[in-house]
A and B are shown apart, each in its own frame.
Chain A
Amino acid sequence: MSGQSQFTSQLKRYYSLYTGGVIGFVVLLSILEQMGVPNQTLGYIFLGVTVSLYAGIGILSKTSDVSEYYVAGRRIPALFNGMATAADWMSAASFIGLAGTLYISGYDGLAFVMGWTGGYCLVALFLAPYLRKFGQYTVPDFLGARYGGDGPRMIGVFAAILCSFTYVIAQIYGLGLIVSRFTGLDFGVGVFVGLGSILFCSFLGGMRAVTWTQVSQYVILIVAYMIPVIWLSVKHTGNPVPQIAYGYVLEQVTAREKVLNDAQTPDGAREAEVRAILKQRQTGTEAKLQALDAGGEKYLAAEQKRLQAKLDALRKQHADEADIAITEQNLNAFPKTVADANSAWRGEIEADRLKSSPIAAHAEPFAGPDEETRDNKRKNFLALVFCLMVGTAALPHILMRFYTTTSVKEARLSVFWSLLFISLLYLTAPALAVLAKYDVYTLLVGSSFSELPSWVSAWASVDKALMNVSDINKDGIVQLAEVTIGGDLIVLATPEIAGLPYVVTALVAAGGLAAALSTADGLMLTIANALSHDVYYKMIDPKAPTGRRLAISKGLLLVVAVCAAYVTSLKPGDILFMVGAAFSLAGSAFFPALVLGIFWKRANKIGAIVGMISGLSVCMLYMYITYPFFGVNAPLWWDINPISAGIFGIPVGFVGVIVGSVVSRPPAAKVQALVDYVRYPNMAGDEGRGAS
C-alpha cells in the first residue's frame, strides 16, 4: 500500500507542476501577444503545443502489458480517475454547446445540466463498486460472465459499438470545427489532425496512456472554461465567484426582459416596431411558399427574374448602396431547386416567427402560450433528464473507467471525485449563459450601429450563423429582435465579450479541443477493446498470445478511426441529437441487464437477451420512425421527442429481463456465486479470483 501512496503523491507533484506549466505557458503567450505576434500564429502555437503534449504523454505511457493496456494496471488513484472520468465525460457538446443551449432555451436547457450530473448517482449506487469488484476489462465482459454464453456478450458488443460510434462521430465533428475555425485549415484536414493526435495517445498505450492524457486535458479544459467566466463575473458584479454572483444578474435580466416585452416603454416600443416588420416578412415568405407549392419550378424562375429586375432598377436609380448589396446577396443566394427553396423558406419563416414573438423569460420553466404546450414541455423535460441520467450510468466508456481503480472503496470515492470535477463546469455553464445574456440585453441592445462592440463585428465577419446584426427598422440603434446569435458563440466569444486578450480565446479553443479529444479517446478505445477483447479473444481465439491480442486491438483502433473520420466527413446531422441518441441507446441496451444482473440473482441468460434486444429495438425503432432525418415522420407517442426514445426503451428492457428470466430456469449455482462475489468487497475465498 505504501508503494501506492508514494505513487499518488508523486502524481500530485507532477500534475501540480504541469498545471503551473500550463499557466506559465499562457502568461508567456500573452507577453508574445503584447509584443505583436499575430493572432493566427498564437492560435497555431497553442494548438500545436497542446496536441504534441498529449501525443508526448501517449508515447511516454506506451505499454505492451495486457492489464496496463486495458485497465491501466488497476492502480489509478480515485482523485485522478475522477479527473480522467470528467475529461472522458465532458465532450465538445458540454464544453461549447451547453452554455449556448442554456442561453437560448433558459430553464428548459437545464435538463442537460441535471441529466449529465445526476446520472452519477446511479453510477455510484448501482454500478461502479460492483463492476470494480468484478474486475475484468470491458462491460460486455460482465454480461458474458454474469449471463453466460456468447449471446449476451455479443449483444453487449453490438450495443457498445453502436452508442460509442454515434457519440464519437459527434466528437470528431466538433474537433473538425474547432481546428478549422482557429487555424483556418480545411474542415477535413482539421478532422485528420485531431484524429492523428487521438491515435497517438490510445494507439501506443491504451487505457494507461488515455488516462494520463485525459487528466492533463481536464486541467486545460477547466482552466480554459473558468478564466473568461470569472472575468465576466467580476466585470458585471464585482464578485469573482460567478456561481454565486449570477443570481443578482438573473434578476436584472428578468427585469430587462419585462421592459423589452412592454411596448409602453421606449425600448419596448422599438422592439415592437422591429417585430411588426419581421411578422410582415414572415407573412410574405409564407405567401411565397404557398405560391411555390402551387406553381413549382415555373414560379421559382419567375421569382428569380423579378429579383433580377428589382436589382437592375435599383442600380439604374443609383439607390442606396446597402439596399443594392442586400438585393444582390439575395439574388446570389436564391435557391436553385424547388426542394432547396422549400427548406430555405421554411427556415426563414421559423426564424422570423421566433424573433417576432415576445422573448421568453430566462428563468421561467416550460414557457408556452397555453396549458397544453406547457405540459408538453414539462413532459419532455422530465423524459430527457431521465434518459440522460440512465444513459450516463450505461455508457461503456464511462463504466470502463471504474475498472481502473485500486479497490472497491476507491471506486466509490472516485465517483465522487468525478462528479465534483464535472460539476465545476456544469455549475458554471448556467452562470455563463446568464452573464452573456446580461451583456447582450444591456450593452448590445440599445447601442448604435455605428459603434458596435468589437466582438460583434469580429464574429459577424467570421460566420453569419453565429452572429448577425442588421438594422431592420433603420433607426441606427440595435434592437434585440435584430440580433441573431448561434448557441456555439457564447463560449467561443466570452473572452472577447469580457474584453480579454486573444490568448484567452486561443486557450478556450484549446480547451474545446481537449474536451473533444479526451472523449473521443475514451470512445475509440471502447470500440477497439470490444472488438479485440470481447470478439477476438473471448469468442474467436481464447488461446491467442497477449502480443497478438494487443496488436489486433491497435490495428482495429486504426480501422475504427478511419471509419469514424469517413462517416464524419459526410457531415451527418445535428451534434446535440447524436449525443442524446447515444444516451438513449446505451440506457435501453445496458442499464436493465447490468443493474438486474447485480441486484437480482434470478436474472438469467434468456432474460438478458430478451431484455437487451427488446429495449434496444424499441429505442431504435422510435428514433427511426420519428426523427426527421430518416424521413418516416410517424406521429409521436405521447408527444415525446425522438431524443428521449430511451423513455420507452428502458422500461421495455426491464420488463424484458424480468419476463424472460421468470419463464426460464434460474441461473446455475456458479453464476449465483458470482453475484455474491461482486456484492461483497471482500469475502472468505475471494483470494485468487478476479482482481488482476
Chain B
Amino acid sequence: MQVSERHQRYWRSNLRMTGMLLAIWFLATFGVSWFARELQTLTVLGFPLPFFMAAQGALLIYLLLVAFYAWRMGKLDDEYGVGEDT
C-alpha cells in the first residue's frame, strides 16, 4: 500500500476534472435558473430558454457530464496504471 508520485498525479488529475465538471454542473443548474427571468426572451426549438434548460437542457448536460467522467476516468486509470485489469 505505497502511494507513489504516480498515484498522487493521478489523484490530482482526478480532482481537477471533478472540479471542472462540478463547475459546469453548477452553471447549468444554478446559473441559468438564477437568471431565468432575464433569459426568458431567448428561445430554443420553440421553448423559452430557461424552460428548455430546466426541462431538457440541464438533463442532457448531466448525462454528458456523467458519461464523460466515466470514459475519462477509465482512460486515466489505464494511463497511470491504477486500473483494475492492469
Contacts and interface: CB of A to CB of B under 8 A. Distances in A.
Contacts of A107: 36, 50-51, 54
Contact of B55 (A110, A408, A680): A110
Q: Size class of A's contact patch? A: 35 or more
A679 B67 CA distance: 19
A468 interface: no
Contacts of B10: 680
Nearest to B39: A365
Contact of A680 (B22, B74, B82): B82
Given A365-B37, A409-B77, A419-B66, A117 B51 contact: no
A247 B47 contact: yes
B44 to A, nearest CB: 8
Interface stretch (A276-284, A310-318, A334-342, A681-689): A681-689
Nearest to B58: A114
A412 B84 contact: no
Chain B interface, >50% SS class: helix
Nearest to B76: A681
Contacts of B29: 114, 118, 385, 389
Interface residues of B, number: 46
Chain B CB within 10 Å — which of A111, A124, A364 has the most? A124
Given A120-B62, A685-B2, A363 B84 contact: no
B58 A118 contact: yes
Nearest to A116: B59
A430 B56 CA distance: 9
A122 B25 CA distance: 9
Contact of B74 (A412, A420, A427): A412
Interface in A239-274: 243-244, 247-248, 250-251
A413 interface: yes
A129 B73 contact: yes
Contacts of B44: 247
Contact of B62 (A118, A126, A366): A118
A426 interface: yes
Interface string B35-68: 0110010001111101110111011001101110
A121 B34 CA distance: 20
A687 B11 CA distance: 21
B37 to A, nearest CB: 6
B69 A363 contact: no
Contacts of B67: 416
Interface stretch (A159-167, A374-382, A436-444): A374-382
A117 B25 CA distance: 11
Given A118-B25, A366-B37, A412-B73, A682 B59 contact: no
Interface string A421-437: 00100110010000000
A409 B7 contact: no
B46 A419 contact: no
Given A427-B55, A676-B3, 11 more contacts: A110-B51, A110-B54, A118-B29, A122-B25, A125-B21, A247-B45, A247-B47, A378-B33, A416-B67, A679-B14, A685-B2
Interface of B: 1-3, 7, 10-11, 14-15, 18, 21-22, 25, 29-30, 33-34, 36-37, 40, 44-48, 50-52, 54-56, 58-59, 62-63, 65-67, 69-70, 73-74, 77, 82-84, 86
